[in-house]
Structure 1
């Protein structure tokens, strides 16, 4: 399967200044940008910058960024699921994961997350994919936001809904380990029924084990 990536962008006005939301961008473009030091949700900023450069150059990899001038202040990633996770078991070329979405504290509550997802879905090729995201409460910045898990979950769910992702049930042990964790999914318009069936069999591995 050839993964076609078409660049889109939009300008977002926020109370802290205007941002350009753009992508998918290449590893080379991403390397040339500064990466804000507050982008530390998953690993130290320098290491995360390097990881995103690698993802951007994967055949299926997509990085959409929010930037203020030459500095990345938010991003979202799409790539194949981690080989260690159950979502990779079907070896499905048309299943990709929204792996990470992060916005620096200064620009939170400004619609940046929604704008990142909006630009991601502007590319018509996304209709060829089943897009999943696994939300785990231990990745959430509960301390920085002062929110409890349920309020944070509501915000995450609303943001994902804006990109067309909705809640799906699953028996994945990591997700079922806490009631705030969830699987969210968007099935593209051009995804064939066989792929949907295959995905359902991955969502419920233990369906017939009582």
Structure 2
């Protein structure tokens, strides 16, 4: 049974037709196959390389797993919006306030088709988007720069260009992993119903000043 907020759209590309589908259920995910290009490369290891992992994530409350699927049932792109892990600082902003765009991944073969924008569009079209702070963390060591043949700062600019149209802005933080490299990135979209109190807490947490 489809999720009540699930949306689907057909995309025609030079490589073939695709379906973009949000709020995919574990059973829907398990019925599909994972494209063989979601594998390790010499200097790149995809964050997720098994559909079972996607299925597990999709079973969590409020999580949106959005997929790009070929006509023959192969997953060639996926994205995840989920609550942060219990040990992450963003939990301290408030209970179920922060939601992370934790993954946007497109198979190397399909990256010229503009699928990432479609995935993000469906991902953040969430019924709770004005009650939440959506965020993304860009760590350069997770980027497939060989696949794009670009330098880290250019990849960073590409990420900013991808997220900005959806209301995301760059925010400063002293989170140690983000500060490790100048190209690392933290962006967030603050929902219109987020109170001033929560916004202040968000600022304090970004700089670890809430404890």
Q: TM-score, normalised by structure 2?
A: 0.88
1:126, distance to aligned residue in structure 2 (A): 1.9
Which residue among 76, 80, 84 is the counterpart of 1:81? 84
**Does residue 187 of structure 2 align to residue 187 of structure 1?**
no
Provide the C-alpha distance between the structure 1 equivalents of 2:120 and 2:207, rounded to a whole number of angstroms: 27
Map of 1:15 onto structure 2: 14
For the residue of structure 1 that corresponds to 2:11, the secondary structure is: strand
Corresponding position of 1:34 = 33
Alignment of 1:123-202 (within 5 A): 123-202=126-205
Counterpart for residue 45 of structure 1? 49
Classify 1:122/1:202 alpha carbon distance in 2 versus 1 (closer, same or farther; 3 Å). same
Contact 1:8–1:123 (8 Å) recurs in 2: no
CA RMSD of aligned residues (A): 1.9
2:207 equivalent in structure 1: 204
Task: State the Cα distance separating 1:119 from its structure 2 match.
Answer: 1.2
Gaps in structure 1 of 5+ consecutive residues: none
Instruction: Report Cα offsets for 1:135-183 as digits up to 9, x if no partner.
Output: 0000000122211001111111111123322211111111111110010
Structure 2 partner of 1:60: 62
Q: 1:51 & 1:45 partners in 2: Cα distance? A: 8
Q: For 1:5 and 1:181, locate their aligned partners in 2 and report how far apart those are by CA, in whole Å.
A: 36
SS in structure 2 opposite 1:18?
Answer: strand
- Which residue of structure 2 aligns with residue 102 of structure 1? 105
Distance 1:5 1:127 in 2: 18
CA shift, 1:60, in A, is: 2.5
